[in-house]
């Protein structure tokens, strides 16, 4: 349903899996990725920067919303502030 439809999409999705260490966080909330680092990583991996710049913010918005929902839930989703 929401899986990438193109090779470029798969490359960006692979990049997303590598961005775990690039999270911007404050106690109790995830703010997003360090987009400068994300685009630098995309460049280093040979991913088209225009495509990364178009897709990453959309994926980031969903990631932030879902992680913050987990943090706000009773169990915290494994995250601690």
Got the DSSP string for the chain?
--S--SHHHHHHHHHHHT-GGGEEEETTEEEEE-HHHHHHHHHHTT--HHHHHHHHHHHHHHHHHHHHHHHHSTTGGG---
pLDDT, tens digit only, all 81 positions of the chain: 678 888 888 999 999 999 989 999 999 999 999 999 999 999 999 999 999 999 999 999 999 999 999 999 966 555 555
**Per the confidence metrics, is the pTM higher than 0.85?**
no
Q: CA 3, CA 20: separation in Å to the nearest integer?
A: 19
Domain ranges in the chain are 7-74
């Amino acid at each position: 349903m929401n899986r990438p439809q193109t090779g470029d999409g798969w490359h960006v999705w692979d990049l997303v899996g590598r961005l775990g260490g690039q999270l911007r966080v404050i106690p109790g909330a995830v703010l997003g990725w360090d987009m400068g680092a994300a685009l630098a990583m995309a460049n280093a991996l040979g991913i088209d920067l225009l495509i990364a710049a178009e897709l990453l913010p959309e994926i980031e918005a969903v990631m932030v919303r879902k992680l913050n929902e987990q943090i706000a839930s009773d169990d915290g989703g494994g995250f601690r502030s």
